[in-house]
Structure 1
Amino acid sequence: MESKIEEEIIIQEILPRLPIKSLFRFKLVSKKWLNLITHDPLFLAHHSHKGPSRTNITSPSYFSCKSELFFSTDDCYQFKWCKPNFLTGVMDDVMGSTNGLVYGVCSGYRKIFICNPITKHTVYVPNPEKQLTLSLACNPCNPSTGFTIVNPIFLREENDGTHNVDVFQFRVYSSKMGEWRESENASAFRVPRRCLKFRMCQAVYTGRKKVYWSLMRHILWFDIEEDVAGLVECPDHGNFVRPDEDGSFTEIGECDGAVSYSCMTRNGNIEIWLLIEKDNEFEWAKKHTVRLQRIIEEKWNVVSEICNGLNIKKGKNVAVALANRHHVKPLPYSGGEVLWFLIKTLNDLHKVLSFNLRTQELKLINEDGTIEPPLYPFMPTLLPCPT
């Protein structure tokens, strides 16, 4: 006897639990499935935020804009992104990602784009001042709230009586208002002199009302509802190796509604911290500490070729040598059991490695070194961009 699964079960129970890569193929089954997968709002919301696939496909994943590649701990979930026609060159104009949406500036810098690279849905914002420092705050689950773009702009240098400081103002674009405005309450915000190169840092939106930027030794935040800004000192104590000036790496990400901060210590440890906030009061809490030296010793077969290419031999100072020569960088942490980090080779190729905290498995993701930084934490979604 032949058995047949009812179409209702397929649509309501099976399809929403499939990974996005599989759904791409199933668009070809019929026009009905194409319509459902591409346009049905209830299906998209269910798939992106409720089904078991949400955990499987987004824990964790990253987007390499220059390599036009998505990848995660799931080997099956690595695929190329066919970039939109309005992006040219090597995609230097991608600024970051928020809640599964990629944003940046179009050629000529007169327009800002917000794009869902999975569905190709794109919206545009005028950029009359050719602004290059952007942060996107939006929630595709609730399109009615629209989106907000925040742009910190350098005004001048001042002396506060003790030190030289840089003075910034904030410009804000609201899709509800449809225009740019200057922030009133944080129109002249001061930060330590030359502690920030905004173009080199990815901004982070945690899903609440603040956006954040990494300032090397500080975290700058801006409240998009109250138009106030603040500065939080990183949990340094002089023990961290700071990122170099190549602009290829970010330190901060989003983890369970909080800002995560990934760093290397001078003795070769990877530390993950969370910035806990309540009523504009902030406190750092350590989430993970991973001894890189122990991992390397136990998994030397995974990293031996990389280290030998850097003239670093197996021994007690491998992790320290990698850290202090700026060859190893932890990636922003987005939660889950896996930590990610890069090792930069002498020919400027970047090897991406993942370490599972539970199983202690160290894995080399790209043998050929084709994944280019910057790498942005990414949450695939089938929901359209808010407007």
Structure 2
Amino acid sequence: MENLPEEVILEIHLRLPIKSLLRFRCVSKPWLSLISSPHFVDLHFQHSSLHTHRIFYFYSSETLFQISISRSQCIMGYCRGFLFLELDSDSQLVIWNPSTRVCKNIPPIPSQLSAFLYGFGYDSFTDDYLIVLALYNSNSSSVSGTEIHIFSVRTNSWKQLEGCFTFISPIDRPDPSTGSVAGSTLNGAIHWLALCAEAGQASSHAAIISLDLTEKSLREFVPLPGDFNYETCELKELGGCLSLIGTNNSNQIEIWMMREYGVESSWSMHMCLSLADELLAYYISPICFTKDGQVVAVCGTSLMKLDEKGEVAECSGHDLDGFDADGVVYAESLFCLRCGQEQSLEH
């Protein structure tokens, strides 16, 4: 390959899977320099994000797809190939790249309040990865007790966002082991489904709230679709769109998608699944669609594919009664955090 033009060598490397690239860093210093360069890493992600997506799924401390982790975890966000995890054993927050198997431990937040909204995203303006936590005083019913804290990987520090925030509680389905809700990151902002209240008023209303990662501003996003009204529901990013998932009175799962980001009139029902009888008693959480339109979802401690009739087309995992399974779809990446404090999560 040494006789090939540099642009041809670059194109060949861009088409290689990450597992091969990690091995090829040892071939020669020029290859190490190429594969490790920020320009190449960014180009490779742009290429792989269109073609190579993986499902990271685990049951308790056992990973069924990907690699083993010795500690139980909750997925609180994902972005550009990184997963944001909370390790159950000691509530340690980490950012982990499952492709390169390196992670960063996040220092404790300088607050005694309890976190109830989590988020993770990337600020392209400052080239920085950010963790966002909303916290509240569990001993107070005042909405003024809500705090927003943002952790910057670049500065390795927490900063409290100034302002008075009126949302009071999440209505999205919380993680069973933490009681907290992970936000959905899209278009440079993190989104949550929450009950909001004006200062001094007892009444509240359901809304999507968003935090712009560049401007560091929190606001109410577009209203929910008028026909969507469920006690148990989720807000997720599915198929590149903000999506609402809820179970209606007929035990059908409805998936609503915002086809045009930020446009209220673009809400439409994408799918209505009439579940098979054996699934009616369980909570099903979709994580992605397949190319042929089937739904990949977590149910209990199982990962399954559901066809358009709501019947199980394929199932992997343990049992439907558990609550400690989780799964996300992510694009592989070679990105590092450039903070000098990365380590192996398995150690």
Q: Call closer, same or farther: CA 1:333–1:49 in 2, change over 3 Å.
A: same
Quote the offset at 1:331 in angstroms. Answer: 1.3
Quote the offset at 1:321 in angstroms. Answer: 4.0
Per-residue CA deviation, residues 250-290 of structure 1 (Å, 9 max, x unaligned), is: 5412543x423334444435424127444xx7455226225
Residue 158 of structure 2 corresponds to residue 180 of structure 1: yes
**Hey, what's the Cα distance between the residues in 2 that align with 1:97 and 1:251?**
15
Quote the offset at 1:123 in angstroms. Answer: 3.3
Residue of structure 1 in register with 2:51 after alignment: 56
Quote the offset at 1:325 in angstroms. Answer: 2.3
Q: What's the secondary structure of 2:98's corresponding residue? A: coil
Q: Call closer, same or farther: CA 1:117–1:211 in 2, change over 3 Å.
A: same
Checking the alignment, whether the CA contact within 8 Å between 1:254 and 1:334 is kept in structure 2 is yes
Residue 80 of structure 2 corresponds to residue 99 of structure 1: yes
Per-residue CA deviation, residues 202-235 of structure 1 (Å, 9 max, x unaligned), is: 2122142x21123496433223415333265543
Q: More strand per residue: 1 or 2?
A: 2
Checking the alignment, whether the CA contact within 8 Å between 2:146 and 2:165 is kept in structure 1 is yes
Unaligned ranges ≥5, structure 2: 196-205, 340-347
Q: Which of 136, 140, 148 does residue 170 from structure 1 map onto? A: 148
Q: Call closer, same or farther: CA 1:36–1:117 in 2, change over 3 Å.
A: farther
Q: More helix per residue: 1 or 2?
A: 1
Checking the alignment, whether the CA contact within 8 Å between 1:27 and 1:37 is kept in structure 2 is no
Identity %: 15
Q: What's the secondary structure of 1:384's corresponding residue? A: coil
Checking the alignment, whether the CA contact within 8 Å between 2:235 and 2:242 is kept in structure 1 is no
Residue 243 of structure 2 corresponds to residue 260 of structure 1: yes
Q: Which of 141, 164, 174 does residue 157 from structure 1 map onto? A: 141
Residue of structure 1 in register with 2:332 after alignment: 380
**Hey, what's the Cα distance between the residues in 2 that align with 1:356 and 1:34?**
47
Q: What's the secondary structure of 2:41's corresponding residue? A: helix
Q: What's the secondary structure of 1:157's corresponding residue? A: coil
Residue of structure 2 in register with 1:303 after alignment: none
Q: Which of 46, 63, 69 does residue 68 from structure 1 map onto? A: 63
Unaligned ranges ≥5, structure 1: 71-79, 159-164, 244-249, 294-318
Q: What's the secondary structure of 1:55's corresponding residue? A: coil
Q: What TM-score do the two structures reach when normalised by structure 1?
A: 0.64
Which runs of structure 2 are paired with 1:69-84 in the superposition (5 Å)? 69-70=64-65, 80-83=66-69
**Hey, what's the Cα distance between the residues in 2 that align with 1:354 and 1:7?**
48
Q: What's the secondary structure of 1:68's corresponding residue? A: strand
Quote the offset at 1:350 in angstroms. Answer: 1.5
**Hey, what's the Cα distance between the residues in 2 that align with 1:340 and 1:37?**
38
Checking the alignment, whether the CA contact within 8 Å between 1:118 and 1:381 is kept in structure 2 is yes
**Hey, what's the Cα distance between the residues in 1 that align with 2:98 and 2:295?**
22
Q: Call closer, same or farther: CA 1:376–1:218 in 2, change over 3 Å.
A: farther
Quote the offset at 1:9 in angstroms. Answer: 7.0
Checking the alignment, whether the CA contact within 8 Å between 2:170 and 2:192 is kept in structure 1 is no
Q: What's the secondary structure of 2:106's corresponding residue? A: strand
Per-residue CA deviation, residues 163-210 of structure 1 (Å, 9 max, x unaligned), is: xx795221223345553332223x3323369777574422122142x2
Quote the offset at 1:135 in angstroms. Answer: 1.2
Which runs of structure 2 are paired with 1:232-243 in the superposition (5 Å)? 233-235=223-225, 237=227, 240=230, 242=232
Q: What's the secondary structure of 2:43's corresponding residue? A: helix
Residue of structure 1 in register with 2:295 after alignment: 340
Q: What's the secondary structure of 1:152's corresponding residue? A: strand
**Hey, what's the Cα distance between the residues in 2 that align with 1:35 and 1:215?**
46
Residue of structure 1 in register with 2:94 after alignment: 113
Checking the alignment, whether the CA contact within 8 Å between 2:225 and 2:267 is kept in structure 1 is no
Checking the alignment, whether the CA contact within 8 Å between 2:120 and 2:185 is kept in structure 1 is yes
**Hey, what's the Cα distance between the residues in 2 that align with 1:99 and 1:28?**
21
Q: Call closer, same or farther: CA 1:339–1:386 in 2, change over 3 Å.
A: farther
Residue of structure 2 in register with 1:74 after alignment: none
Letter in structure 2 aligned against 1:55 = L
Per-residue CA deviation, residues 342-362 of structure 1 (Å, 9 max, x unaligned), is: 374xxx5414115599xxx98
Checking the alignment, whether the CA contact within 8 Å between 2:235 and 2:244 is kept in structure 1 is yes
Checking the alignment, whether the CA contact within 8 Å between 2:118 and 2:180 is kept in structure 1 is no
Which runs of structure 2 are paired with 1:1-387 in the superposition (5 Å)? 6=4, 8=6, 11-23=9-21, 26-27=23-24, 30-32=27-29, 35=32, 39-50=36-47, 53-58=48-53, 61-66=54-59, 67-70=62-65, 80-83=66-69, 88-92=70-74, 94-105=75-86, 108-109=90-91, 112-128=93-109, 129=111, 132=115, 133-138=117-122, 142=124, 144-155=126-137, 156-158=140-142, 168-175=146-153, 178-185=156-163, 187-191=164-168, 197=174, 199-208=179-188, 210-215=189-194, 218-224=207-213, 225-230=215-220, 233-235=223-225, 237=227, 240=230, 242=232, 251-253=235-237, 255-256=239-240, 258-267=241-250, 268-274=252-258, 276-278=260-262, 282-286=264-268, 288-290=270-272, 292-293=273-274, 319=275, 321=277, 324-327=280-283, 329-333=284-288, 338-342=293-297, 344=299, 348-353=300-305, 355=307, 363-364=313-314, 366=316, 373-385=325-337, 387=339
